Structure 1
Amino acid sequence: MPAAVTAAPPGLWGLTRKVAARYAGASHFSRNFVRGKLLTDPATPAVLRLAAARGGFGSITDLGCGRGQVGMSLLTAGLATRLQGLDLDPGKIADATQAAVGLPASFAVADLTAAAVPAADTVLIFDVLLQLPAEAQQRLLVRMAAAARRRIVIRAFDPARGWRSGIGIAMERLGCAVRRDGSDFRPLPLKELGAPLVAAGFVLSVTPCWGWTPLPNVMLLAERDEP
C-alpha cells in the first residue's frame, strides 16, 4: 500500500501566504479558515504534488469548492490555467469571488444534486459526495465523467479502513447531529464510487490521504488518455 502523504511540498508556506493575502477583504473567520486549511489539511500537499507530477491540471472545475482555496492555490502555483468553482453556500462563493479578482477564475452558487458540471481538463471534488444520498452521488459521478477531459480527483471517505473508518463514522455522525443543517452521511464503498468512472473509460488509483489525522480519507484518481 502506498505511504500516506504527510510532508508539505516545498514552498507551501510561501504559497499559503500569497493565497491567504487574497482573502484580506473576507471576515476574520474566513481568513483564518483559508490559512489553516491550506497549511493543515493533508489534501493540500497531496493535490499540489499530484498536479506537479502531471505537469499541471490545465483547466479545473472544483465541485463543492467552498471558499475556493484549493483551486486558488493551484492557480497561484502555476499548476492550473483556469478555475471554475461551484458550491451551495452563497457566503463562501462571495469570499471566493472577491479573492479571485484578476485571476482566470469564476465561482457560482449551485446545488450539486442537479447542477451541470462545467467541462474542464480536471474535475476536483473533496469531502462532498458523502453528504449526498447514494443515488445523487452516482448521478453526479456520471456528470463528472462526462465533463472531465483528462482526470477526476476525489478526496473520498473509505468506509473499509478499519479503526480509521470507525473513528471517522462516529465523528461525521456527531457533526451532522450538532450542525442540524440537513446534511447527510452516506460514504459509498470505493468500488461503487469508482464504478461509473471505470464505465466511462477512466483508470483508477487510490492513495491514502489522511496524513496526521485518524480519518480514513483517501485520494481517488481517475485518469484517461487525451481524447
Structure 2
Amino acid sequence: MLDLAAQVADRYRGASRSARGFIRGKLRSDPAVAALLALGAAQGFGRVLDLGCGRGQLGIALLLADAATALHGIDIDARKVALARDAARDLPAAFDAADLATLESMPPADTVLLIDVLLQLPPQAQDALLLRIMDAAPRRILVRAFDPDRGWRSAIGFGMERIRRRLGGDRGLAGMVAPRPVAAIAAPLQAAGFAVTITPCWAGTPLPNVLLVAQRP
C-alpha cells in the first residue's frame, strides 16, 4: 500500500510539493482507499467513472493496482483536472472539467465512484445526479457518504466541513454542507434493482463516513 502511494505520487511531478504530499498522505491514510482497493481486487471494477475525482489519485491507484481497466474522471476544478491528465498520461484514462450538478450525460462505465461528493450538492441535485448515473446502467455504484446520524462523529464532521470550506478547500462549491440520511441515498438505488450494503468507512478517524456499495444482481 505504501509503495503504491509513492508510485502514484511520483506521477505528479508537475504539482506543488504540498499537493504531492497531500496525494501521498491521502492514499496511505484514507480508509476509503484501502476499502476500494480491496473491493476492486476482489471483484474487478472494469471501466471506472470517478465523479468529483479531484486530482485523480484514487482512479490512478486503481489502474496501477489492476483493480480497474480504464478510468474517466470528472471534476469541477480545471486545475486539478489538468494535474490528473498529466499524471495519467500513459494510462488508459481521460479527465474532463465539468460541473456534476449540470452534467447532462454520463460516460459509459462498469463502476461509478462518488467519493465525498453528494454532501457537496443540495438534495435536489443529489437526486438528479443519482438518476443520471442509474440511467447510464453501470454494474455498481460506490458512494462514500457522510452519515448525519452518527452522533458525535457527525458533529465533528459538520465542524470540519465548515472549516474546510472557509479555508477554500473546494473551488466552485456553495458554502453549504448537505448530507442526507444514508437510507435516503440507498432508497432510489434499491428501487432501481441494486442490492445495497452499507459499512463504516472511518477507520482511524473521528468522521461519520460510510461506504455504500450498490451492485446489480
Give the TM-score range, shorter chain.
over 0.9
| Structure 1 contact 63–112 (Cα < 8 Å) conserved | yes
* Structure 2 alignment gaps of length 5 or more: none
Whether 1:217 aligns to 2:209 is: yes
Aligned match of 2:95 = 107
Greater relative contact order (Cα < 8 A, sep 6+): 1
- Tell me, yes or no, if the aligned pair for 1:125 and 1:153 is still in contact at 8 Å: yes
1:47-196 matches, within 5 Å, as 47-54=36-43, 56-115=44-103, 116-179=105-168, 182-196=174-188
Deviations 1:66-94 (A, max 9, x none): 00000000000011000000000011000
Determine if contact 2:41/2:66 at 8 Å carries over to the other structure: no
One-letter amino acid of the counterpart of residue 117, structure 1: M
- Normalising to structure 1: TM-score of the pair? 0.90
Aligned residues: 213
1:16 and 2:5 are equivalent in the alignment: yes
Give the stretch that moved more between structures: 149-158 or 180-189: 180-189
Unpaired runs of at least 5, structure 1: 1-11
CA RMSD of superposed structures (Å): 1.4
Q: Percent identity?
A: 54
1:4 corresponds to which residue? none
Structure 2 length-normalised TM: 0.94
2:138 is paired with a residue whose SS is: strand
More moved, 164-173 vs 92-101: 164-173
Map Cα deviations across residues 89-127 of structure 1 (whole Å, 9 max, x no partner): 011000000000111000000100011221200000111
Change in CA separation of 1:119 and 1:168 when aligned onto 2, cut-off 3 Å: same
The 3 A distance-change label for structure 1 pair 176 and 19 is: closer
SS at match of 1:78: coil
The answer on whether the counterparts of 1:87 and 1:93 sit within 8 Å (CA) in structure 2 is yes
Relative to structure 1, is the Cα distance of residues 34 and 148 closer, same or farther in structure 2, using a 3 angstrom cutoff?
Answer: farther
Per-residue Cα deviation, 1:162-221 (whole angstroms, up to 9, x for no partner): 111121122223333443963421001111111221121111000100011100000000
